[in-house]
Amino acid sequence: MGSTPNKDLHSSAELRTKISAKLEGIAPRARILLAASELFYRFGVHPVGVETIAEAALTNKMTLYRHFRSKDDLIVAYVEQFANENIAVLDRLLGDEAGSPEQKLGAWVDHIEDILTNDRERGCALANAAVELDVRHPARAVIEGYKQRKHDRLVEVFRAARYREPELLADEVFLLFEGARISLQCGGKGPASRLVSMLRGLLASSPRVAAG
């Protein structure tokens, strides 16, 4: 009943102006992908129709289908874009030019804090998509690859920071973060709001090996 994103979109100019603002001179394909990202993330991939996406992108359905073979193709592109963006953020925060491992981890926790306190937070777009999509949907492979890469980066940094059990620590931090994002959608503001302090405590108290 409440989930009528198309009607909501038409009646309120909110998203319309919000998307339009970034649309000056951008190619149609990019516009469509941008609009799809906003809508898919806000309402999910199933409730949002292609017509709605096209209109939000200030174009039409035909142009959409000239750039994407099908809605499933668009979903894959949406997921890939999100994965690439997130990986880019991770590269920036944890890359070679981001300082010491401790600085990297601090910056990463700050970044997490920003995400969780954002009022537009609706969980991890990729995790949400995984929930919505069938296991055989091609986007699922993209999602799995992203989560794997993210986990690997964490292990790297924990190892560089000389934690005694970098894999275990990465698993722990990974699960805590995933849990916080999903539990924010289940109304549980309490547990998620304490994630950041939990992470800082974990990083401070986990055993390390002595410096060589």
Partner DNA sequence: GCGCGCAGTTACCGATCGGTAACATTACAG
Partner DNA sequence: CTGTAATGTTACCGATCGGTAACTGCGCGC
Q: Which is nearer to DNA, 46 or 164 (CB)?
A: 46
Q: How far is CA 108 from CA 72, 172, 178, in A?
A: 32, 15, 14
Footprint of DNA on residues 69-98 (CB under 7 A)? Answer: 69-72
Question: Measured between alpha carbons, how far is 147 from 128 in angstroms, rounded to an integer?
Answer: 13
Identify whether the C-beta of residue 43 lies closer than 8 Å to the C-beta of residue 93.
Answer: no
Q: Pick the binder of DNA from 12, 13, 22, 60 (CB under 7 A).
A: 60
Judged by CB under 8 A, does residue 195 bind a second copy? yes
Question: Measured between alpha carbons, how far is 151 from 145 in angstroms, rounded to an integer?
Answer: 10
Judged by CB under 8 A, does residue 127 bind a second copy? yes
Residue 1 Cβ vs DNA, minimum distance, rounded to whole Å: 7
Partner whose binding site includes residue 40, from DNA, a second copy, none (CB under 5 to 8 Å by kind): none
Judged by CB under 7 A, does residue 11 bind DNA? no
Q: Which stretch binds DNA (CB under 7 A): 62-70, 127-135, 184-192, 201-209?
A: 62-70
Identify whether the C-beta of residue 93 lies closer than 8 Å to the C-beta of residue 107.
Answer: yes
Judged by CB under 7 A, does residue 63 bind DNA? yes
The site for DNA, by CB under 7 A, has a size of 23
Residue 28 Cβ vs a second copy, minimum distance, rounded to whole Å: 24
Cβ-count burial 29-48 (b if 16+ within 10 Å, e if not): bebbbbbbbbbbbbbbbeeb
Question: Measured between alpha carbons, how far is 179 from 195 in angstroms, rounded to an integer?
Answer: 9
Judged by CB under 8 A, does residue 174 bind a second copy? yes
DSSP character at residue 208? B
Mark out the alpha helices in 48-137 (DSSP H runs). 50-56, 61-67, 71-94, 101-117, 125-132
Residues lying near DNA in the complex (CB under 7 A) are found at 6-7, 27-29, 48-52, 58-63, 65-67, 69-72
Residues lying near a second copy in the complex (CB under 8 A) are found at 1-3, 43-44, 46-47, 70, 72, 123, 126-128, 130-138, 140, 143-145, 147-148, 151, 168, 170-172, 174-180, 182-183, 185-188, 190-192, 194-195, 198
